[in-house]
Structure 1
Amino acid sequence: MTKNLKDEWKQHCLKVSNDLELIEKLWLEIKKQYSLKIRHYHNLMHLENMLTHAYSIQDEIKNWQAFLFSIWYHDIVYKPTRKDNEVKSAVLAKIRLKQLNIDEKTSKIIQKLIISTKNHKINLTENNDNAFLLDIDLSILGSDWNTYKNYIQNIRKEYSIYPSFMYRKGRKKVLYHFLERESLYFTEIFQNKYEEQARKNLVKEIELL
């Protein structure tokens, strides 16, 4: 997995920079951050799954460069106890994108895409890129039950600092928030593919909490 991700990163970066030393340095940072012990779900596997989904809908994406960089950096900073992970991830992305000579306009788009994953609300409406990013980030919700069960177990591990009664209360709030939405997904592609199963999974998880 790691080798494939590294190759993906390198190929994407070579389209904007020929600085192999910098590209390698930034990859090592990504690998380190996404491999921290606290990351049981928001790790390299999550990154790989998102990229796999991204390539499956590549023809739908208008700004492919920005879209991919937003995936790579959307969880680069992650501490379960903090509420500013997305903002800090966007700030770090801004610094790294400048090093890669990404133009300011594209950088701002990437930052907005990253920040949109905080509350899963669309920040950019000129095309469906933001909608697809959010749908990809939540695609796990519509997986088969065994995969979903593994996901919720890993999320619980990430929040292991909290006692069960606090975790259950907070988790239920999140789940009900999603269920109250008219649709969990923004795009028709993901609605058709995952909506029904996602709602079943959320309801079942609530019953188990």
Structure 2
Amino acid sequence: MLQQNFNSLFQKYNQDISLQVKLWLEIKKNHSSKKRHYHNLSHLENLFEELIPIKQEFEDWDTIQFSIYYHDIVYKTTRSDNEEKSAQLAVERLEQISYPEDKIQKCKRQILATKLHAVADPDTNLFTDADLSILGKSWEVYATYYQQIRKEYSIYPDFMYTNGRKKALQHFLDMEYIFKTSYFQNKYESQARRNLEKELQILGK
């Protein structure tokens, strides 16, 4: 599904099949690293599964799709500039495709928004909410997710990881709403808070 969708999206703006193949293989390779246990192709599939049913709500669905493909294309747990690097690479690739400049800048802003998940425009809010949708899944799915995140950060000893993770969880719980849109609030807010509280208890609140 991911490759077929990317091909269709690409061909709306460029007919260079060799470039299309090259860019898809880059996306696939980067998301298939053995160090990626959560931020992989399955994560991209989940975002599409969350957003396709409401794609009519978007002002610019094409840009959202490119943002999905590129928002985690650079991901190293030892760095704090993954979003910036991903946004930079997205700009370079979309310029190669000859995607409209105003839409390229919109894609850049959407990718950067996944760093802090602050309130933004309606399209971006739905996108970043979908990026956090895992927080509101069933406990079984959520438990698999946080174990995958721990594997991605396996370079760090437990005491360092636990302290950072607890701060991140508490940050979300201290928000008035974890999700910015009524759609995702209604769908996931309550379960997300239960999941975060439960993980905090496991970590030793």
Q: Shorter-chain-normalised TM-score: which range?
A: over 0.9
Determine which of 68, 73, 92 is the counterpart of 2:89.
Answer: 92
Residue 57 of structure 1: SS of its match in structure 2? helix
Aligned pairs, number? 203
Give the TM-score taking structure 1 as reference length. 0.95
Instruction: Look up the equivalent residue of 1:71 and give its one-letter code.
Output: I
Match in the other structure for 2:25 = 28
1:56 to 2:49 alignment: no
Give the TM-score taking structure 2 as reference length. 0.97
Match in the other structure for 1:10 = 7
State the 1:206 CA deviation: 0.2
Match in the other structure for 1:157 = 151
Match in the other structure for 1:170 = 164
CA distance in 2, matches of 1:32, 1:183: 35
Match in the other structure for 1:118 = 115
State the 1:105 CA deviation: 0.7
Match in the other structure for 2:138 = 144
Structure 2 residues not aligned, in runs of 5+: none
Note the alpha carbon deviations across 1:147-191, whole angstroms, 9 max, x for none.
Answer: 000000000000001110111100000000000000000010100
State the 1:18 CA deviation: 1.1
Q: Percent identity?
A: 51
Match in the other structure for 1:131 = 125
CA distance in 2, matches of 1:172, 1:162: 14
Structure 1 residues not aligned, in runs of 5+: none
Question: What's the Cα RMSD here?
Answer: 0.7
Instruction: Look up the equivalent residue of 1:62 and give its one-letter code.
Output: E
Instruction: Look up the equivalent residue of 1:117 and give its one-letter code.
Output: T
State the 1:103 CA deviation: 1.3
Determine which of 96, 103, 108 is the counterpart of 2:105.
Answer: 108
